[in-house]
Structure 1
Amino acid sequence: MNTSLKIYLTSFLILILFAPVAHAKNTPDKPFTVIIDPGHGGKDPGAVFKQIKEKDIVLNIGLKLGQYIKENLPDVKVVYTRDKDVFVPLHRRADIANKSKADLFISLHANYCGTPAITGTETFVLGLHRTEENLEVAKKENAVILMEDDYSSTYQGFDPNSSESYIMFEMVQDEHLTQSIDVAAAIQGQFKNRAGRKDRGVKQAGFLVLRRTSMPSVLVEAGFLSNNGEANYMKSSTGQSHLASAIYRAVRDYKKAIDNKSNYKLVAQTTQELAQETIKQPETPPTPTVKTSNTDIFFSIQLAASGKKLATAPYNFKGLKEVQRKQVQSIYKYYYGKTSSFESIKQLRNQVKSLYPDAFIVAFEGEKPISINKALRKLKP
């Protein structure tokens, strides 16, 4: 059996193993449930800087976050994957979320890299990494499975340190991707505006803990322990409170949007906005592919999501023309291209990934976002 076939078969088996379990929707008898997942714990310290340990920081942030939710959102149920310094296997964390029939899963972590000058927060959703940097973050967080007993059998031979193991995430079609992105963008917006942190954006990567959950899920990197100033900030009670408060506000806004059944609305561009900035455009920007059909289903590319309202002129998007902006509550999303052909949108993504490495494909039915998997099913002849 050749190497490519082995990799494909291994990826297929892992994909089946990690397939999430369906859970019931909210009912009047079922409260909105949030899972708070402080990463690492017990024998797994996570990243360490001097005497500052990731496991301690994220536990404190998680406990504060839970307290804010309980105090201000009494109709929301909070469930912790751990509320003390204990080791919880990665697969067990997802099991807790699925058995709780949770509505939102938030995994808390702190980052570390070899460049001490790097700072900022970033929030991940499930998907194939678009940059080597994102892959390295996923490898670091997934490596916790090496501390579990019989991890090779549990995860069907998945090697967190092998780039080839991450091929399986190319086949992932997350039914909750749109909601996960909404939550991630809201968290990043609050980190920037509430906590005054550097916003490194919403990103995608192959995190096993997110793959096994069956609800909107995000993984938060609250800062870099490798940076002395940021490490001390995350260690401080004030810093932990600010970070927890920012995440709480994002949860509050997300739940409000769910409760109000908020609709996406295209925002018109004004002449005043067009005059806000003047940035030189690239000489040869890609041209969006537009292919229409008799269906309301189409694909597009999400370039960015942020709390900042930008004019959709080329100077704001590295020369790209015909960018569209859509608003959900306080979050603005920026899309490029529109086609009912999945092959065409994949080609367009390849054209723009040098400008936006973290850009990814999304699907809509009319103005309503739907999963790519659902769109492909509906487009079948």
Structure 2
Amino acid sequence: MKRYRRYILYIGICLGLLASPLCSGSIEAKDFVVVIDAGHGGHDPGAIGKISKEKNINLKVALKLGKLIQNNCSDVKVVYTRNRDVFIPLDRRAEIANNAKADLFISIHTNALANNRTAKGASTWTLGLAKSDENLEVAKRENAVILYENDYQTRYAGFNPNSAESYIIFEFMQDKYMSQSVHLASLVQKQFRYTCKRADRGVHQAGFLVLKASAMPSILVELGFISTPEEERYLNTEEGTTSLSNGIFRAFLTYKREQEIRLKGSSDTVLPEDVPDPVREKENSIAPPEPKNASKAEGNREPQHTRQVEKSAGNDGIVFKIQILTSSRPLAKNDKRLKGLQNVEYYKEGGIYKYTYGASPDYNKVLRTKRNIASKFKDAFIIAFRHGEKMDVRIAISEFKKNRNK
């Protein structure tokens, strides 16, 4: 009888192991999860225009985006923070994304300016320190939603969305998803520019609470300006909301395909024919890489941050630079986005080209240069490299000060 029981136990263990994922021939792949967040809602209208409210524009675009993904990507799970006109606290939105173990978080918003000022165009934002008063105002407006929550001072540890001092917490925040977020943001802006034919207001950083709490690559899209009558009319048309949701969808497809190829070496994600595939396409960019035997003339070579770092670095190998903008592709030296600056370089990080200016081992000199170009590049900030490798700028500044005092 004991032998029989042992035999039954043995069979049970084997069957259990066969049913276990550890012994299965293949484990079912987890769906790619994207959380789509329609900003504001319910008793929080967001920005208010002449004929509409932000919350309704955001929801319409969010639902159209989700439907595009669901209809075209069978391997993607779409989760909405809201799919109707209800109020959802900011921290709950991030919690929904975290609980869903999302691969992406896309927050949809509509911009506005006070005092009857007008502006046009779409922008995409990632988490970071606002480098200009204009960017800070955008973050303040979006974060002010917490004032609709009765216990916001407790829930957000005393954060005051209208106080500039509260945003110091974002100054040295190291977001491990930053490069992916910036890359997705750049892809969205590219689609807004070329597919949607929108004025491109670029990729920016600011201290958004809803992005701070999300544990995945995250972006916040500002579709346009509800405070500009022409923009508001566009944002309330079927054509406008369809075009904008389609632009974000196309950027999402490109991002997803790139990530799959990076991780698995292949992808089943199909891009529309008129969406350029940066993985397949030749590097026919406006600033092609320099052949090994090419002339060293300034107009013929691709800028390389490592070359400049080694040439300009101090005795400790540290060089400071000013990062002025990012792009999904190399730019020609006369590109209008460089605003006439000469001797601009770039380094590549996470598939994004990051442009720098004013390389020097002297931090004070770079700081003065940053002040001189502040009117042209409001989002510029100082970074540091040691022997060509990017390093923590706080450590670099500390070492510079120690060496200077010797």
TM tier, smaller? 0.7 to 0.9
* 2:292 is aligned with 1:291: no
Q: How far apart, CA to CA, are the structure 2 residues paired with 1:374 and 1:166?
A: 18
Cα distance change on mapping 1:98 and 1:340 into 2, 3 Å: farther
Q: Deviations over 1:23-46 (max 9, x none)?
A: xxxx96322211100000111111
Aligned match of 2:126: 125
Cα deviation, residue 184, structure 1: 1.0
1:244 to 1:254, Cα distance in 2 relative to 1, 3 A? same
Alignment match, 1:63: 63
Q: Which stretch of structure 1 is more off in the superposition, 353-362 or 83-92?
A: 353-362
1:87 aligns with 2:87: yes
- Please give the secondary structure, in 1, of the residue aligned with 2:98: helix
Q: What's the offset of the Cα at 1:170?
A: 1.0
Aligned partners of 1:358 and 1:67: how far apart in 2? 35
> What are the superposed Cα offsets for residues 159-179 of structure 1, whole Å, 9 maximum, x if unpaired?
111111111111311111111
Question: Structure 2-normalised TM-score?
Answer: 0.71
Partner of 2:31: 31
TM-score normalized by the length of structure 1: 0.76
CA RMSD of aligned residues (A): 3.8
Aligned partner of 1:165 in structure 2 is 166
Alignment partner, residue 356 of structure 1: 377
CA 1:371 to 1:222, structure 2 compared with 1: closer, same or farther past 3 Å? farther
* Structure 1 unmatched ranges of 5 or more: 1-26, 276-286
Partner residue in 2 for 1:323: 344
8 Å Cα contact 2:123/2:201 also seen in 1: yes
Asked if 1:334 is matched to 2:355, the reply is yes
The whole-number CA distance in structure 2 between the counterparts of 1:217 and 1:371 is 23
- CA drift at 1:303: 2.2
Question: Which residue pairs with 2:51 in the alignment?
Answer: 51
What displacement does 1:215 show? Answer: 1.1
Q: Distance in 2 between matches of 1:365 and 1:34?
A: 37
Contact 1:109 1:222 in 2 (8 A): yes
Change (3 A) 1:328 1:371: closer
SS of residue paired to 2:171? helix
Partner of 2:215: 214
Residue by residue, what CA displacement relative to the aligned partner does 1:214-259 show, whole Å, maximum 9, x if unpaired? 1111111100001111111111111001000000111111112212
- Determine the C-alpha separation between the residues in 2 that align with 1:154 and 1:41: 19
CA distance in 1, matches of 2:250, 2:127: 22
Kindly state the Cα deviation for residue 98 of structure 1 after the two structures are TM-superposed.
1.0
- Work out whether residues 321 and 366 of structure 2, in 8 Å CA contact, stay in contact via their aligned partners in 1: yes
Q: Distance in 2 between matches of 1:247 and 1:364?
A: 34
Change (3 A) 1:337 1:179: farther
Q: Distance in 2 between matches of 1:361 and 1:251?
A: 30
What amino acid does structure 2 have at the position aligned with 1:324? Answer: E
Corresponding residue to 1:312 among 333, 340, 356: 333
* Contact residue 47 and residue 112 of structure 2 kept, 8 A: yes
For structure 2, which runs of at least 5 residues remain unmatched after alignment? 1-26, 263-277, 301-307, 400-406
Matched, 1:268 2:289: yes
Per the alignment, do residues 303 and 72 of structure 1 end up closer, same or farther by CA in structure 2, a change over 3 Å counting?
farther
Relative to structure 1, the CA distance from residue 315 to residue 235 in structure 2 (aligned partners, 3 Å threshold; closer, same or farther) is closer
Correspondence for 1:42: 42
| Matched-pair contact (CA < 8 Å) for 2:179–2:352 | no
Q: Residues 174-204 of structure 1: CA distance to partner in whole angstroms, max 9, x if unpaired?
A: 1111111111111111111111111111111
Point out the more displaced range, 337-346 or 205-214: 337-346
2:254 matched residue in structure 1: 253
For 1:361 and 1:88, the matched residues in 2 are separated by 37
Q: Which residue of 1 aligns with 2:304?
A: none
Which AA in structure 1 matches 2:289? A
The farther-off stretch of 179-188 and 86-95 is 179-188
Between 1 and 2, higher relative CO (CA 8 Å, sep ≥ 6) is seen in 1
Aligned to 2:200: 199
1:311 counterpart letter in structure 2 = A
What letter is aligned with 2:251? A
Q: For the Cα contact (< 8 Å) 1:274–1:313, is it kept in 2?
A: no
Corresponding residue pairs, total: 336
